[in-house]
Every structure is written in C-alpha cells, then in structure tokens.
Chain A
C-alpha cells in the first residue's frame, strides 16, 4: 500500500512541476508585449549577468572541492617506490589543467557577459588571424610535448622491469569473487599452472601442476603479505572473467585476463604499522570512525548490530566489472618487515603438503 502512495506522490510531483510550468507559461503570454520568443535586450542583460554569476559558481565549486577533498590521504602518501613519481606527475598535470581551466573559463564567461547584445550595437567583423591561431596551436603543442615526455619517462620507469633487482615473484589469482596469492617459495619460481589442472576434490584450487618441481614449495594464501623494501613481481591470472587487481595505496593496477598472464611490479616502502601512525591516516581513521559510530547509533536504535570500528589496512580491490559481487571482491594487504614476513611465511602450508590424497 505504501508503495502505491509513494508512486502516487511521485506522480503528483511530476504533474505538479508540469502544471507549474504551464501556469508560468500562460502568465507570460499576457504580461509581455514582446512575444517573439527571440532574445531581447532584457534577456541579454539578465543572461549576460548570469554568465558572470556562473563563472563565480564554477570558481566557488572548484575551491570548495579542493579545500574539502584536495588532501585525500590517498593522494598524498603513496606506499610504493614508484608512487611519488606518479603523484608528482599528477600534481604537475593538475596544476597545468587548473591554470588552463581558470583562464579559459574566465575568458569564455567574461566575454559572454561583456559583449551581451544590445539593439543597435554591431559586432566586430573579425574572421581570421593566422598569427593568433599559430600561437594557440604552438603553445599547446610545446606544453603537451613536455607533458608527454615527462609522462612517458615515468611510464617506462614503472613498467620496465629490472631483472637485476631480483624481485620476489608472487602470483595474484582472481576468481568470481575472491583473490588468492601464490608465493613462489624458496626457489622464487612459480610452478606451472593451468585451469585444466584444477581439482577441487584434491584441494588443487589454482590448477598448479603437482609434478612440477618448482611448484612443490609454492604457498597459497588468502591474505597478501609483503616484505617492505623488496621489489615484488606480481604475475596475475584469472580463472573465469576479467578482473583488475587495483592496489590504490601502491599506485598499482593491472587486469587479470583468463588465458594469459599479466604482470606488474612495485616495491612497497611503508609498512602497515608505519602507515597507521602517519598523521593523515590517523585523522582519516578518526573521521571514518565518527561516521561509523553515528551510523551504528541508528542501526542499534533499529535493533540491528552496530558497525565495527575501522582500522586502516592496505587493500587489493577488483576494479573491472566481474559480476554480481564485484563490489565486494577484496583482499587485505599487509606490508611488514622482512623478519615478520619470514615468520609468517614459515607458518603457511606448502603446496605439496596442502593436497588431499586421492582415495
């Protein structure tokens, strides 16, 4: 019943808007002597002034957004070696487009305001100026050349893997709707794998070749632990549809494609513990916990359970539409010291020991 009434109300709102517009429309006919529906001096004046008002609105919304959202912790403190390079490029690009935006919008709306039409005025016939056009072709061209060069240097820096660094190889394995990590063990080589080898009954969920010597010491986990300061080479695989391994704090992302192995590498530089102690994160966590406490109050009042308080953790998110539970496909990432990492990995089961014997 309440559905019916809500819909009725919505319908009334639509009809009401329609009717208000109609009434407004009808009143116009009687009052105005000029009914040509072509802009006259009065319209030009009002809209010309509104143009200036709109310019101020754009500036205001820009300033508000920058003050309110400009210092998202995610923007300022990256946790990987290449992160600051991306952030610098971002800041340079943002500064540039902010500058161009401010200037061009100013001229656009200011000219619209300044040259609003008036009866009897005649526009200035000005159809071409090659010098001017040359200037505003060449200036963007030079600016973009610099930006492209800067961008490409950064890009190849990030994507080109230096094998001399001896990266630790970890496989990220995606399936609807969860992540697994496979560590390559002491030999730092992943065992061969293919989805055709998946044998759920024997708990070989990633399809690892059990006869491959490299596979024996592989370790499969549901949490991603990374030693700080060590280059990591991620090999990504997916068993069903496209997924994307997005690790925003590390400025890292790569799609996981069924049928092929993709890769991305980075060096984590800040441990989870250190990150939790940075002032930005402390502030963010307090802020989020206030919001959650507020929500919990409402929930408890309704007789439901309250929300758990939030503690900061690095996350791996799925960032390519992958089906129904795409919105909840995540894995916790923990960056820790080498020592802590060694202790943790020691406790995990090796692949050869994780298989269930055939009956």
Chain B
C-alpha cells in the first residue's frame, strides 16, 4: 500500500494522456466527474420528473371530479377533457415510486456520494476500477433513458405499482400498462441492477483495498461505513430482484408458470399452472426491504458527518454508530416478510417477521439518541447542510416510530395498504433520504464545484420544505387510520370517506408548495455552479481527507503524496488544541490518546 502513496500524479498521471472533452465530461473515468454525472441525471433530472408526477397524483386525489387543465396539457390523450384516466393514475403511482426509490434515492444518492466521497475520504486516487465505474454510470444512463421512454408508449407505462406484483404485471389483458410499458420497465430495471452491482462491487473493493496508510477500519468516517455497508446489502439483495425480473419476463414472454396459476381472464382460462404470486412477493421483498436501507444508510452516514462537523463535536458513540449500521444491515435482510403479513403466507412466519422487524427499532433508537447527544453542549453552526441533517433526524424518528405499529402483524391487518403506510414510508425513507441527499449536496457542493451554494436560499429551501413535509405526511397517518386505501384513483365511490376529502385537499396544498419550493434549490444549484462564490480549501473546517485534496480537479485527487492518517475523523473541539478541529492527517501529540 505504501508504494501507492508514493505515486506522483504529476509524473505519472496528470500528463500521460491528454484529456479531450469526451474523456473529461462524457466517458470520464474520474470518480468526481462520475459523481457529478450521477447527481445531474439521477437527482436533478429524474427527481424533477418524480416530484412532478407526485403533484399530478395529489391534484387528482384532492379534486377528482373536476376537469383540470394541467392534466389536459401534460397528459394529453390520457386526460381527455382534462379528466385523468384511471389507468394513468396507477401509472403515475408506479412511475413515481420506481423513479424516486431506484433512480433518485438509490442511484442518485449512492451514485453521487459514494463515488465522490469513497476515494476522497479514504485517501485513494480513484476507485479500484475507473473503467467499471464509468460502465456503471453509462448502464445507469441507459436504464434511465429506457425508463423515460416507457412513459411515452402507446398503452401507457407500467401501472402495477412499483412492486409490480404478478399476475397484474404479467398479463397483458389485465391492464393497459402491462404490455410494452411493463416490458420496458423490466428491461430498464435489469440494466439498472447490472449498473448498481458494478457500482457496489467497486465501492466494496475500493474501501477494502485502497485505504491510505493509517486509515484503519475504525478510523473511517461514518459516511464511508454507511456507503460500504450499503454496497454490501446491494450486492446481496439486488441479484434476487434480477432473478425475479427474469422469471417474470419468462412468464410474460415464454409461457412459463413461475408466478402464475389457475387464471381466468377476459373470458378464457390461461394455461398457467402451479406457480405462485406469493413467490414473487418473497423474491421482490428480499430486495425490496433491504432497498429501504440502501436508501436510508447513505443518508444516515451523511447526517453523521454533517452533524458532527457542524456541532463542532465528535459524533457521540462512534463504535455504537458503526455497530448499529452493521446491525441494521444484518436485520434488514431478514425482515422482508413484514410486507406480506396478509399475503396468505403461514401466520407463524408472520410472527417470526414481526419479531425481527421490531428488533430493528433498537439500533435505530441508538442512532437517534446518539445524534441528539452529539448536539448536546455543541457549538452548532447552522449551515444549510446542518438544518437538513437535523430535519433528517426528526423525520427519521417520526417515520421510524410508526414502523413499530406497521411491523406489528396484528396491527398490520387493519393498516396494510392504507394511507398510514404511505405516510410512514414517505417520512422514514422518502423525506429522510431526501434530507440526507440535500445535506450532502449543501455540504459537498464546494468539493464538487469549488463554489459555495447561497446559504440564505438554503435556509428558505429548508424551512419551507420542512413545514410542507410535516404538513403533507402527518395528517396522512390519520386518514390511513380511518381506513382509506392507497392507490385509489378517486374516493368518490365511497361516501364513507367523504369526510376525508378536505384533509386530502389540505395535504395537496402543502404538497404543491413543497414541490414548488424545490425551484429555489434548482436555481441555487444551477446558478452557484457557475456564479457561486469561490470556496476555500476547507470551508466547514472539517477533519476528513477530502478537504485536503487538490482544489483543482485533477485525476488523482492529490498533487504529490496522499496524506497519511493518524487519528479518527471526529476530533472536533479536542482539549489541548487551539483550533476546534484537528484534521485526520495531523499526527497525535506526544501522550495524546485517540478518541
């Protein structure tokens, strides 16, 4: 490893090939450029589409009968006279879920920050394989293009929900979206999984092999721990979804019966025999639940780093934080059945899954308490990233707590697939992960573009978003407890739910404000990218290695030697030092103890 440190980019790397526009900006193998590519494709582009779709859904739910000119314009033939088609509502539900979960919060979040931070924070010149990293991004790009194309096919995009349970997703006659739209969905996801696996393997190998001298595992920043463990869960669980997708493609196109049996539809009996949709549910949720943590863990890592830096205090209980990440990761792979309590599986199995599910509350509680203790007696600097991190802890607690209710199989009987579930997972994985994402963007924008984001716009962005997030999802729990099922195109066929209509309108108003305020962020992002104030080398006075790297974006990260690491990354306000931070590459003083 020491040889690697001697490696000098000036002699070896910087000049040996001339970078053209194409190798620098398009087929780049530099992890920093790939991070930017993920950020722009995954987060900005797909994020805008995903949020727009949710606003259309909210408009439909709040004012279902009234013709809406926005629908007529945006949905064209799918909203004749401005009245949304019921199939298209389900398509919006499906595509919003797919885009937000996979494209924005998996690829966007992990792709951006794992790529940017893993080499920079562990002291490596690049990922273990720059080429694979590039391939990973371009596979992701192809899957994005296919997914976006699928929105425009004749019969509409996939509309079976983001969980695409067969037989609905398998039978072309079952639903408009189950034709070409679903085929494209499956193809896009298969490519997406390939991309995700290449990325994850690269992250794992890089973290294991390329740490700089002195960067022991227990000196790694919590961001790296989170990205590392996320990649491991991804490698364990994504292949199972791929197998499910492939088997579903077989059922759809080649007449096999993995998930289908005894079906009578459109006046005829189909030949399928002996398969089971429950098998698909098992395979899907074997990925689907770890997926929640693939989305959440990077956000937890980012929040840990940002909270510690901005509190000017070490993260409380570093070892407990690492252990709880590992515990959450382990438990996340054995709880998938809590999505299936009432799927018809054996009730005893339900008991086992209730048990493992509620166990996750323990490491999660430890994390929440540790964050709060980190704030205690701090010297908190309210940079926008810090606001989003505190917001993250808040929604993580609120959303996590309702998980205790949904994870309890007996309570799930009555709440399953109601708006209570929608409120729960949007708070705990949607909003929380988005907050983590925003915190990351605000915190590492200087590292990405060498410029600062405008802080006042950041404050406006945070406070309006925070109020709207609670305004949307808090009342939603209650309409769920009133028994309102999710994925209903309109509730007007159920007079029973008429008294919930005004609540739905309030929620929609909050959603629209919350959606529009993201324009402030977009403006801030695009404007600051070109005209923002030039950043200093280490604007947040942070300890981690990425702030020692060359300001100029060179392929190799450090001019000269890679710094050696002598301490953990959280020596903030350590007694015996004048400054309130001690970067990781500063040697320990004589007699100084670590931690």
Residues of A within 8 A of B (CB): 2-3, 6-7, 10, 13-14, 17-18, 21-22, 24-25, 28, 35-39, 43-44, 46-48, 50-51, 54, 57-58, 61-62, 65, 68-70, 72, 74-75, 85-86, 89-90, 93-94, 96-97, 100-101, 104-105, 107-109, 111-112, 115-118, 121-129, 132-133, 136-137, 140-141, 144, 147-148, 151-152, 154-156, 158-160, 175-176, 194-196, 198, 200, 207, 236, 239-242, 244, 246, 248, 251-255, 257-260, 262, 284, 287-288, 291-292, 307, 310, 312, 315, 317-328, 330
Q: How far does the alpha carbon of A97 sit from the alpha carbon of B463 in the complex, in Å?
A: 25
Would you call B354 and A69 a contact (CB within 8 A)?
Answer: no
Would you call B379 and A121 a contact (CB within 8 A)?
Answer: yes
In whole Å, how far is A110's beta carbon from the nearest beta carbon of chain B?
9
In whole Å, how far is B61's beta carbon from the nearest beta carbon of chain A?
11
Pick the contact of A148 from B160, B358, B413 — CB < 8 Å?
B358
Would you call A115 and B358 a contact (CB within 8 A)?
Answer: no
Q: A198-B264, A242-B167 are in contact. Are A259 and B276 (CB under 8 A)?
A: yes
Q: How far does the alpha carbon of A46 sit from the alpha carbon of B520 in the complex, in Å?
A: 20
Would you call A117 and B380 a contact (CB within 8 A)?
Answer: yes
Q: 5 additional contacts, CB 8 Å, given A37-B455, A122-B580, A291-B501? A: A37-B539, A72-B483, A239-B263, A259-B276, A317-B485
Chain B neighbourhood of A253, CB < 8 A: 342, 413-414, 416
Would you call B408 and A147 a contact (CB within 8 A)?
Answer: yes
Would you call A65 and B478 a contact (CB within 8 A)?
Answer: yes
Pick the contact of A128 from B277, B317, B453 — CB < 8 Å?
B317
In whole Å, how far is B318's beta carbon from the nearest beta carbon of chain A?
7
Of B23-31, B115-123, B307-315, the one touching chain A: B307-315
- List the 7 shortest-distance A-B pairs measured between CB atoms, nearest first: A259-B261, A69-B478, A248-B483, A47-B382, A262-B344, A37-B452, A159-B347
In whole Å, how far is B372's beta carbon from the nearest beta carbon of chain A?
5
The total of Cβ contacts below 8 Å across the A-B interface reads 416
Chain B 518-558 interface residues, beta-carbon cutoff 8 Å to A:
519-520, 523-524, 527, 532-533, 539-540
Chain B 18-53 interface residues, beta-carbon cutoff 8 Å to A:
none
Would you call B470 and A61 a contact (CB within 8 A)?
Answer: yes
Chain B neighbourhood of A57, CB < 8 A: 467, 470
Pick the contact of B347 from A58, A108, A128, A160 — CB < 8 Å?
A160
Closest A residue to B71 by beta carbon equals A3
Chain A neighbourhood of B87, CB < 8 A: 324
Tell me if B260 counts as interface (CB < 8 A to partner A). Answer: yes
Would you call A126 and B379 a contact (CB within 8 A)?
Answer: no
Would you call B344 and A254 a contact (CB within 8 A)?
Answer: yes
**Main SS class of interface, B:** helix
In whole Å, how far is B473's beta carbon from the nearest beta carbon of chain A?
10
Closest B residue to A93 by beta carbon equals B405
Pick the contact of B487 from A48, A158, A288, A326 — CB < 8 Å?
A326
Chain B neighbourhood of A117, CB < 8 A: 312, 378-382
Closest B residue to A197 by beta carbon equals B269
Chain A neighbourhood of B370, CB < 8 A: 133
Residues of B within 8 A of A (CB): 69-70, 72-73, 86-87, 90, 93, 160-161, 165-168, 171, 174-176, 260-265, 267, 269, 272, 274-278, 311-320, 342-344, 347, 350-351, 354-355, 358-359, 361-362, 365-366, 368-373, 375-383, 386-387, 390, 393-394, 397-398, 401-402, 404-405, 408-411, 413-414, 416-418, 452-457, 459, 463, 466-467, 470-471, 474-475, 477-479, 481-483, 485, 487-491, 493-496, 498-499, 501, 503, 516, 519-520, 523-524, 527, 532-533, 539-540, 570, 572-575, 580, 595
In whole Å, how far is B163's beta carbon from the nearest beta carbon of chain A?
8
Chain B neighbourhood of A100, CB < 8 A: 397, 401
- What would 6 A/B residue contacts be, using CB atoms closer than 8 Å? A54-B463, A57-B470, A85-B410, A112-B390, A127-B318, A258-B261
Would you call B372 and A108 a contact (CB within 8 A)?
Answer: yes
Q: A151-B354, A259-B260 are in contact. Are A37 and B533 (CB under 8 A)?
A: yes
Would you call B380 and A44 a contact (CB within 8 A)?
Answer: yes
Pick the contact of A195 from B269, B354, B418, B572 — CB < 8 Å?
B269
Q: How far does the alpha carbon of A116 sit from the alpha carbon of B488 in the complex, in Å?
A: 45
In whole Å, how far is A257's beta carbon from the nearest beta carbon of chain B?
5
Would you call A128 and B316 a contact (CB within 8 A)?
Answer: yes
Pick the contact of B533 from A35, A39, A176 — CB < 8 Å?
A35
Closest B residue to A61 by beta carbon equals B474
Would you call A140 and B277 a contact (CB within 8 A)?
Answer: no
Would you call A43 and B174 a contact (CB within 8 A)?
Answer: no
Q: How far does the alpha carbon of A160 sit from the alpha carbon of B314 in the complex, in Å?
A: 51
Closest A residue to B385 by beta carbon equals A39
Chain B neighbourhood of A36, CB < 8 A: 452, 533, 539
Q: How far does the alpha carbon of A320 sit from the alpha carbon of B362 in the complex, in Å?
A: 31
Would you call A124 and B381 a contact (CB within 8 A)?
Answer: no
Q: How far does the alpha carbon of A7 sit from the alpha carbon of B573 in the complex, in Å?
A: 54
Closest A residue to B266 by beta carbon equals A240
Chain B neighbourhood of A133, CB < 8 A: 317, 320, 366, 370
Pick the contact of A43 from B455, B479, B501 — CB < 8 Å?
B455
Would you call A148 and B354 a contact (CB within 8 A)?
Answer: yes
Q: How far does the alpha carbon of A292 sit from the alpha carbon of B69 in the complex, in Å?
A: 25
Closest A residue to B523 by beta carbon equals A21
Chain A neighbourhood of B354, CB < 8 A: 148, 151-152, 155
Chain A neighbourhood of B377, CB < 8 A: 115, 123-124, 126
Would you call B409 and A155 a contact (CB within 8 A)?
Answer: yes
Would you call A327 and B474 a contact (CB within 8 A)?
Answer: no
Q: How far does the alpha carbon of A158 sit from the alpha carbon of B341 in the complex, in Å?
A: 13
Q: How far does the alpha carbon of A347 sit from the alpha carbon of B166 in the complex, in Å?
A: 39
